Amino acid sequence: MNHFRQEKPLEGIYFTGFIREVLEKRSRRKSKDYAAVYDAIIKHIDNFSEEFDCDIFTNSITAEFLDDFIIYLEDQGLRHNTIVGYIQKIQSLVRRASQYNYAVDTTYDEIDLREEPTNAVFLSMNEITRIYYYKFLKQDKRKAKERIRDLFVIGCLTALRYSDYSTLTADNLQQGYIVKRTKKTNVDVKVPAHDYVLEIFEKYHGLIPSGLCIQYFNKYLKVIMREIGLTDKITYSYTQGGKLITVTREKWELISSHTARRSAATNMYLTGRMKTFEIMKLTGHRSEQNFFRYIRLTSEDTARAISGDSFWRK
């Protein structure tokens, strides 16, 4: 059925049914993890519908409904940023339903939730160098700690996602560049190979450590970072269940496979020699606003980055 050729809007249909319709069309072009967040949204909407004994149609998604749904999600103990992501995806789906000519209520777009700063950390180039040259005192025969460390360093210097830097082979190193078709976005990226990356490829004869599930990798990465001594105290706050929570953790506790990609993007920017749009081509960010929200800059980082500018000279 071609919804775009209807002269009059169709009636509203069950919203979760519409989500499944969209998922079915998109899933062929997306990764297997794509549907997970939408499955969670469907589950929450179904539970909300059952708890409050109401049917949710495409034209039921109003500003008032979203306000109530946000409170419901907070009562489920979800973090604020998770709720923001859900609401933004729901609004995008209602917008698409309107394009399909289904009946919608235009007030859905009045809700404007903003993400709060996250506790994500990045590693400076000094820290990455410290990690790279660390000598492990006790290792098993497979040298698992060393292999995980080396793989992580590659991520810190390429800005690739774990799904990409954990599947590199000798074929991906071409004339001093890492060339890879990314799994998530299915685009080709070409990154200059850092000297450390070249040394790691040579060390393993191109057979880069791989085959580690991300849960195993993250678990032992934290063990490694603690052993190396990344124990700076990090205090951060987040909203969960509608309440502000403040916690203090040591830095190693906050490091994961994705810290590598964030560190690469932040350090590339801090060199002051790379243009923002060039880095965004590597990271896949479409707007500078999202890019600057992604990288991690302190006021000290910013001051250091601009201190060499001629503006500060006579």
What are 179-197's pLDDT values in tens digits?
999 888 788 889 999 999 9
Mean pLDDT, rounded, for 70-86: 94
Burial status of residue 164 (CB atoms within 10 A of its CB: 0-12, 13-18, 19 or more):
buried
What are the tens digits of pLDDT across the range 257-295? 989 988 988 888 887 777 877 777 777 767 777 776 767
| Mean per-residue pLDDT, 31-60 | 89
**For residues 91 and 69, is the Cβ–Cβ distance under 8 A?**
no
- pLDDT for residue 1: 42
- pLDDT tens, residue by residue, 21-33: 888 887 666 666 6
Per-residue confidence band for 210, with pLDDT thresholds at 50, 70 and 90: confident
Q: In this prediction, what percent of the chain has a pLDDT beyond 90?
A: 54
Q: pLDDT digits over 88-138, tens only? A: 999 999 999 999 889 999 999 999 988 887 767 889 999 999 999 999 988
Is the pLDDT reported for residue 9 higher than 50?
A: no
Give the bridge partners for 235, in sequence order: 248
Residue 7 has pLDDT above 60, yes or no: no
